[in-house]
Amino acid sequence: MDKQDPFHLHELAQRQARARAMGGDHKVALQHSKGRLTARERIETLLDPGTFDEIGLLAHSDLPEAADRSPADGKPTGYGEIAGCTVLVSADDVTVMAGAGGRVGVGKQYQAMAYAIQKGIPCIHLGDAGGARVPDIMGSDGMMSMVYPIKAAPRDRRVPLITTIMGECYGGPGWTASVSDIVIQVKGAIFAVGGPAILTIATGEQSTPDELGGWELHARQTGQVDLFAENDAHCLWLVRQVLGYFPSSADQLPPVYPATDPPDSRVEALLDVVPEDPKQVYDMHHVIALLADAGSVLELKPEFDGSLITALARLDGHSVGILANNPLVTAGAMGSGACEKAASFIALCDSFHIPLIFLHDTPGFLIGKGAEER
């Protein structure tokens, strides 16, 4: 026993420092060369300064040969605060074994998420990973359930769950995103089930990453992503902004902010925006901007079926959800995409006690062979 350090605190400090060094200087530099932050930098940028309380820092792969090269098992996870609100945040560390998930790291994330849901704490996942580590998940003991527990799939929306797509996200981060309330993708990042290489091997199909899961695909065709960011810093700012519209859990009401406009103010400018002629088109975005508190409108899925606008906003400081037909696009007539968009948004707002406002200006539904096929 070391009489100078009987509790091995020096050794503990060294192990903690090694874990916080992630995959090493070279891989950190490689991440920075792509214009991206590391997982730990993202967490620090997202949270209020000095509030991150990490769990499982000394975790590592349960495969002996990978223990020394899997600090925190590539999944830094812990609690912190955003605008004084306690949140759980987990991240994929792409500098550690490409951010791929093993039993220990992913198990740590899901156990923390289960506890957070039980305690009414919002959950945020910062995605940047290439699926699961095949050696780690081989064997008969639970196989894939050890990495992606079946209990993680169903959600009763007890707390807000926000997932960001910040790198080449195949597999794992995509599963989390698919059951999230809000998904935010950085332009240049990829959100897909499988990558081009495995696709070519499995099917012979030749595709680029952007064709499989680029931001334009999700913005205009799938509608799977709610918001798009220019870079990591913008993405993390959006997380903080969107969380402000929601309560911490479904047992609470959304927060109320100081009103930016008098509640009894008359919106005379509406007379200039909405034409008297019902056949004349106009942009419903201008109407929403006039009705809502100044600067409070956050549109979700802005490029997915523009005939319907879905936006979070505030009225007199209170969170509201706005669904509005936009006469500028198909005269406001709704197709299948707009209907899916509406149903998803209504369910989101209903889950977290956000009142809904409907602004109708539509001739009805899009009809025809194409509509019937959808």
Domain 270-373 coded CATH 3.40.50.300 = no
29 φ/ψ angles, rounded to the nearest 5 degrees: -65, -35
How confident is residue 171, by pLDDT bands cut at 50, 70 and 90? confident
Question: What pLDDT digit, counting tens, does each position of 352-363 carry?
Answer: 999 999 999 998
Domain ranges of the chain: 9-243, 270-373
CA dist list (Å): 282 to 208, 298, 326, 331: 38, 20, 8, 9
Question: Mean pLDDT for the chain?
Answer: 89
Q: Do domains 9-243 and 270-373 have the same CATH topology?
A: yes
What residues contact 254, with CB distance under 8 A and at least 6 apart?
245, 246, 247, 318, 319, 352, 353, 354
Question: Quick count: other Cβ atoms within 10 Å of Cβ 231?
Answer: 15
pLDDT in tens, 229-281: 999 999 999 999 999 999 999 999 999 999 877 766 777 888 888 988 888 99
Is the pTM above the cut of 0.95? Answer: no
Least reliable range by pLDDT among 3-17, 131-145, 254-268: 131-145
Residue 140's pLDDT band (cuts 50, 70, 90):
very low
Task: Give the Cα separation of 353 and 36 in Å (integer).
Answer: 36
Report how far residue 88's alpha carbon sits from residue 113's, in angstroms, rounded to the nearest whole number: 7
Instruction: Please check whether the domain covering 9-243 is classified as CATH 3.40.800.20.
Output: no
Measure the CA–CA gap between 301 and 343, rounded to whole angstroms: 13
Work out the average pLDDT over 47-71: 90
Mean pLDDT value of segment 316-328: 96
- Tell me the per-residue pLDDT of 224-240, one tens digit each, with 9 for 90 and over: 999 999 999 999 999 99
Whether 349 contacts 356, CB under 8 Å: yes
pLDDT (tens digit per residue) in 189-207 = 999 888 888 888 888 888 8
Residue 76 pLDDT exceeds 90: yes
